[in-house]
Structure formats: C-alpha cells, structure tokens
Amino acid sequence: MKKTFLACIVAASFALPALAQQQLTVVNFGGANANAQKKAYYEPYEKTGTKIIPVEYNGEQAKIKAMVETKKVTWDVVEVESPDAVRGCDEGLFEKLDYSKIGSKADFLPAAVTDCGVGLFVWSTVMAYNGEKLKTAPTSWADFWDVKKIPGKRGMRKGARYNLEFALMADGVKPADVYKVLATKEGADRAFKKLTELKPNIQWWEAGAQPPQFLVAGDVVLTTVYNGRIDAANREGRDLKIYWPGGIYDLDYLVIPKGAPNKEASLKYIQFTMQPANQAVYAQSIAYGPTNTKALASLSPKVLADLPTSAANAKDALQFSVGFWADQGEALEKRFASWATQ
Amino acid sequence: MQAPPGELRRALGRAEARRKWRAFALTVPLLVFLLLTLLVPIVALLQRAVENPEVANALPRTVRALDGWNRKEAPAPAAFAAIAADLAQLPDSSDAGALARRLNTEIAGARSLVMGTFRALPIAGTPEEVKARMLELDPRWGEAPYWQAIAKNGSRWTPDYLLASVDLRRDVAGEIERMPADQRAFAGILLRTFQISAVVTFFCLLLAYPLAWWLSTLPARKANVLMILVLVPFWTSILVRVAAWIVLLQSEGLVNRGLMGIGLTDHPLALLFNRTGVIIAMVHILLPFMILPLYSVMKSVPPTYLRAAVSLGSSPLAAFFRVYVPQTYPGIGAGALLVFILAIGYYVTPALLGGADDQMLSYYIARYTNVEINWGMACALGAVLLVATLLLYAVYRRIGKAELSLG
C-alpha cells in the first residue's frame, strides 16, 4: 500500500513537467469590470489550455515602472488607462505590439490602435441621477450647475480631469471646441472660474464605486460617474439614469510590460480578447462598448441603449484627449490642488 | 590550586568583555534591519529629491550649445542642430520619454514637443536647415520657454523639486521667486496637514484622558476586559472602519437619523466628505494610541498622592489638576506625539472621507508617485514632511525638557 503510494508520487513528479500549463498573469481594475472580463475572456480562454491568473490593481503605473526598471516583470498583460498607455509607451515601459498577431486594424476603432496598447473597451464619464428621486431630469450640462432649477449637491471626481471639460460645456462651449478652448490660458481660467461657482455644492468622490452610492443614499442629486457603474447598480435593481450628451468617452488598453516573460502567449491572449464574439459577451456583461466594430452587429437594441459606443449615445459625446492631458495634466492637477485650497 | 590574583582579574575582565560583545551582538540584527529599512530609504529619498539626470544625460551637446545664450528669444541654429543630434543619439525611445517627462514638469507641453520631434527623426542638414525643419515640424521650437527649461536643467542636481514643495521656483535668471498664484499649493497643504493633525490630537486627548483615568482606577480584571474593547477596533482594518463611518455618517445614516429623531436638527447635517468626517474618523482610528500611553503612566501614579492632597485641605478638583495631572505629563506627551506623528502621514482616511480641500500632504505624495510618476516631486514632498516632523519633535523636546521615549 505504502509502496504504491510512493510510486504514485514518483510517477506524478515525473509527469509534472508534462502537465505544467502555460500561465498568464492578467492585471485588471477589479470590480464589476473584472467580473465581466472573467466571463468574456478569462474563462473561455482557459479552455484553450492556458491558465489565467487575474490580479487587481488600482492603475498605479509606479508598480509597472518598478518592475521594468528592476527587470523583474511578473505581469503579462495589463489593463491601463489611455494617458498611461501613451505615456508608458513613450517612456519604454511597454512592448511594441505586432498587430499581425492581434487582428485586422480595419475592424478596430481608430482610437483602439496604438503602438503599445490595443483598446479593449470604451467607457464614458457621464452625468447621472436617481430616477426614483429626481422629478426634473437635467437637459444640459448648464443644469448641472443650476442649483436653483435642481437643488442639491453635485458629485464630482476629485481632480481636474473631466471636471474642467464639463465646466466649459456648462459655460456654453460646444463639445468639439472644448480642448481648443482649454488649451489656452484664458480657457483654463474660464473653466476654473466656472468650477468656483459650483464649489460650495460639490461633493467630491475618489473611487468609481462612490457616485452610485451617493445617488442611492440621496447625498447628491446629480453626479459625474463612469457609465459602467450606473449599469452595475441598475442590474442590482436601482433606477439610476444617465444623461449622455457631453459625456467624455475614453478607452482602456491592454499592454504588455517591457521584458514580460511570455510575450507570444500574451499576444495570443490579446488576439482572443479582440475577437467580435468575445467582445459581444463582454458588452452584455457590463455596459462598456466593444472596440471591435464587428461586435456591435450581434448586440440587441436593449444592450446597445446602455453602451457609450451606440450611435444615439455617442452623438454629442466628447472623446477624451490623451494628448492634451499628457501635456497639461500635471500642471492642471496642481492648479486644481491650489484652487481647492482657496 | 589557586590562580594568582592578577590572572583572576584578567579572566574576569575577559568574561566581562565577552558578555558586552554578546549583548551587542544581540542588537546587531536590529541595527542592520534599521539601517536597511529606515536609513537607506531615507537617504535614497533625499537623493531623489535633488537628482536631475534626465536633461544632462540626454542632451549634453544642447546644454553646451545653450551656454551663454541670452535666455530671452529662441537660440542660435547651432542649438537646434545640437538637440537634433542629441535626440538622434539616444539609445532607446525610453530615454526620450524620460526627457520628455522631465521637461513637461517644467513647462506643460514639452512632452508632445519632444516626443513629436523624436518620432520625426532623423533631421539632418546644416544648422539653418535643421532649425527651419524643426520649426516647420512644431512652431513651438521658436518659443524661448522650452529652451529655458532645457538650459535650466543642464546640471545633474537641482533645487527645483524642493523649492516647488514650498511654493518657490527659480526664474529664468536663476533667482528664487514665489510660484505664480495659481500654482501655489503645497505650503497651504502642509499647513492644513498640521492643522488637521493638531485638531485630531486635541480631540484624542480630550476623549482618551477621562477614559484612561477611569480604566486605571478599575481593578485589573475589569480593566483588562474593557481594554479589549479599546483594542478590538485597533486590530480592525482601517478601510473597514472608514467604510463603517461612511455608513454611519451619510445623510440618511444612523447619526443623522438619530439627530433628526430627537429633534436636534430638521435637516441632515453634512458630516461626510468634508473636514468633519475626516476628523471624526481619524480621532476614532488614532484613539488607542493615546489611551495606551496614558493608561500605562496613570497606572504608575499612586492614588495615595491625591488622597493626601485632599486630606491636607485641597478641593478635589484642584487636587486633580495640581497633583494628579502633572504626574501624567509624560503620558500626555508620549500619546500626543505618537498621535500627531501618525496623523501627519494619514492618507486613506482623508482620501475617502474628505473633500478636495481636506487632502493631506501624503495624498499628493501618493499622487506624484503613482499617477504623475514624478518621483522627484514625490521625494521632495516626502523630505519636507520628514524635516517638518523632525523640527516639531525638536521643538517638543526643548519645551518638554524631558527625555521622551515612544515606548
């Protein structure tokens, strides 16, 4: 008996190398989005024989920088936000991608194709309110500033990003002109001045999960929020509503940190995530838009109604300007810190 | 057999020396640990705060070409040729990225200027041709501020990060001046950090003193049971406690409902996402750090002194304040210092419970580390926080005049 057991162990230890599976460490932002990625990408991909080890992070590029600089890269595929995708590429944190191994560029949204990162999904920062509580629905960004018409607090992200754009739109700037105006000194002054008007009525949020809670708890009447969070709350039985015009949409990208050990396997995984069928499953799990335009065709009107990429919702939306924020971000965020102190 | 007395003394001396060395050897692991985990990182942090290698490494020719430039209008064509040659020599695009990032912290927009030019390489020809080609590529090359940023950062060491962390900067000529009003932030934030910490320390003392006093008068059995109640929250994750405060303090939360229920207010008070919420939660989290030192000192104060004072004719209140309280000063000092120093570094609690104007310095240190990836600035702010804390400690030592240990 004992001998057979021992023999089994010996046999197993010899067999192990053959069983050793390909593993990929895939890093995401956690939450409902991670669950959707698990359902649409991780689980189906594991059936092809590669084990996916999901890791959550908070977007800290410092971690990737530290890994790349010390040449101890343990992450294979990382989801990053657009400014980080561009900046990290410039600074040599990510591998350049070989698109012949990912798919046809023509099928992807133009914004999804960059040197180091391929866009995985489209999300949008929008205005939202609680349909159960608010009687007068907002009809413009000026209403977000109008505390007489809709009394109550406003939720806004702590920081300059998005808020300056919204401030200019509330001040009458057309979405198409927002970044042109904001790039000038007068434009930035104008945005901060507009923000000052609303300052006593702003309740700041830090994490994406907070604004839906604010709305549900009645702490704020209107808030800026990532659209997927509203969708997630509504799936739990809430009646939160989105005002789409003037929403700022952006992409999250998949990148491979420079020096990652399994580059080829990572590319294969990325190729898998960019296939229309898989992206359609993803979009059904969370209201973020597919980057492979062919995925849209298979989605029902009900799913499309909640996606930032559907024609109706994208009509008056503003594309987040990565270039503008990569240049001006640090100075504007510092100015925001200074403004908040006053 | 008896050893001669001199030999015995020597043997004793040797044994004594061995004992001393053994005692010292026991502390060696701790000393090495402290050296590695405390001193080395602090030195590295201070070094990063003044290090400025990007421009000097990437653009040596340009820095030389800009030597003697009047710093007012765009430089001579030779400087254009030098920068084109320097960029072409960079071994890796990541070096251009590092340069672009460094210059962008100096003047917003330099990132796209440098990277755009780097991608358009090679630019060859006579200096005049290079200049024309670069201006055609991006007319911003004709503007002096971008060149000033390069000229200013030609040296490997810079005071700029440290200056910026106290809202100062060097002007074009190298003279130190105040930041423009809309870029002044950190002096105010440092002040705010100290203000919040002081208020938190004050409330901790106010709440902890009577509690610690009561605990110290109880019999050991009861005191131990109650001490567990103090310690249980101490062992709970900070995030959990912050989340619990959000539930309690929100406008339809338990506290507001209670206040409205007993008629103290007719509309919910704003207790969250402002200074009030930050202070409430920080006091709660830091309270054990005040209670424990106070309790340990109060335990050692003999109750007979107070009784003696009263029996000698002092009123109980005067006896308490003139006899008892002075004996607990070491506990007050240790507790206050501990709470204050811990509070200065707070980050998660204000981030989740505070508004945009309640953030403390650590929030910005984390921001520069993780989001802006401007580690020079993060280290400079860290150095300012460190120096401010040490200064405060020195002042405290001078006023307190007492040797003080945190143990």
As a whole number, the mean pLDDT across chain B is 89
Nearest to A335 among B101, B183, B273 (CB): B183
Residue of chain B whose alpha carbon sits nearest to that of A220? B251
Residue of chain A whose alpha carbon sits nearest to that of B378? A62
Q: Span A287-304, mean pLDDT?
A: 91
Shortest Cα distance, chain B CAs vs residue A275, angstroms: 31
Residue A123, strand partner residues: A250
Residue of chain B whose alpha carbon sits nearest to that of A81? B371
Residue of chain A whose alpha carbon sits nearest to that of B377? A330
Chain B hits for A93, Cβ within 8 Å: 94
What pLDDT does B388 receive? 86
Do residue B356 and residue A340 have CB atoms under 8 angstroms apart? yes
Shortest Cα distance, chain A CAs vs residue B98, angstroms: 6
pLDDT band at B93 (very low <50, low <70, confident <90, very high): confident
pLDDT band at A59 (very low <50, low <70, confident <90, very high): confident
Chain B hits for A333, Cβ within 8 Å: 367, 372
pLDDT at A224 exceeding the cut of 60:
yes
Note the pLDDT tens digit of each residue in B331-385.
998 899 999 999 998 988 999 898 888 999 999 999 999 888 889 999 999 999 9
Do residue B189 and residue A328 have CB atoms under 8 angstroms apart? no
pLDDT at A72 exceeding the cut of 90:
yes
Shortest Cα distance, chain A CAs vs residue B97, angstroms: 4
Do residue A328 and residue B108 have CB atoms under 8 angstroms apart? yes
How far is residue B332's CA from residue B327's CA, in Å, rounded to a whole number?
10
Do residue B355 and residue A335 have CB atoms under 8 angstroms apart? no
Do residue A331 and residue B356 have CB atoms under 8 angstroms apart? no
Chain B hits for A206, Cβ within 8 Å: 351-352
pLDDT at A7 exceeding the cut of 90:
no
pLDDT at A81 exceeding the cut of 70:
yes
pLDDT at A277 exceeding the cut of 90:
yes
What pLDDT does B402 receive? 53
The strand ranges marked E within B179-331 are: none
What percent of chain A shows pLDDT beyond 90? 78
Do residue A87 and residue B373 have CB atoms under 8 angstroms apart? yes
As a whole number, the mean pLDDT across chain A is 90
What pLDDT does B405 receive? 47
Q: Span A87-103, mean pLDDT?
A: 92
pLDDT at B400 exceeding the cut of 90:
no
pLDDT at B282 exceeding the cut of 50:
yes
Do residue B272 and residue A219 have CB atoms under 8 angstroms apart? yes
pLDDT band at B273 (very low <50, low <70, confident <90, very high): confident
Do residue A92 and residue B92 have CB atoms under 8 angstroms apart? yes
Flag whether residue A90 sits within 8 Å of chain B, measured between CB atoms.
Answer: yes
Which amino acid would we find at residue A105? K
What pLDDT does A3 receive? 52
Do residue B185 and residue A341 have CB atoms under 8 angstroms apart? yes
What pLDDT does A4 receive? 52
Note the pLDDT tens digit of each residue in B8-54.
889 999 999 999 999 889 999 999 998 998 899 999 999 999 999 99
Nearest to A330 among B92, B105, B189 (CB): B105
A contact test, residue of B373, B374, B375 with most A CBs within 10 A: B373
Note the pLDDT tens digit of each residue in A99-128.
999 999 999 999 999 999 999 999 999 999
Do residue A62 and residue B370 have CB atoms under 8 angstroms apart? yes
pLDDT at B406 exceeding the cut of 50:
no
B contact test, residue of A198, A205, A219, A258 with most B CBs within 10 A: A219
Residue of chain B whose alpha carbon sits nearest to that of A199? B356
How many A×B Cβ pairs under 8 Å? 113
What pLDDT does A14 receive? 47
Chain A hits for B182, Cβ within 8 Å: 192, 335, 338-339
Note the pLDDT tens digit of each residue in A122-153.
999 999 999 988 888 999 999 999 999 999 99
Greater pLDDT, B264 or A72: A72
A contact test, residue of B54, B95, B115 with most A CBs within 10 A: B115
Residue of chain A whose alpha carbon sits nearest to that of B97? A91
Do residue B372 and residue A87 have CB atoms under 8 angstroms apart? no
Whole-structure pTM value: 0.86
What are the helix (H) ranges across B300-328? 303-311, 316-319, 325-327
How far is residue B186's CA from residue B364's CA, in Å, rounded to a whole number?
9
Residue A156, strand partner residues: A204
Note the pLDDT tens digit of each residue in A154-212.
999 999 999 999 999 999 999 999 999 999 999 999 999 999 999 999 999 988 888 99
For A69-80, b/e burial (b = at least 16 CB within 10 A) is eeeebebbbbbb
Flag whether residue A61 sits within 8 Å of chain B, measured between CB atoms.
Answer: yes
Chain A hits for B109, Cβ within 8 Å: 327-328
What pLDDT does B146 receive? 93
Query: CB-side exposure of B20: number of CA atoms within 13 Å?
Result: 6
B contact test, residue of A116, A162, A327, A333 with most B CBs within 10 A: A327
Flag whether residue A339 sits within 8 Å of chain B, measured between CB atoms.
Answer: yes
What pLDDT does A41 receive? 96
pLDDT at B4 exceeding the cut of 90:
no
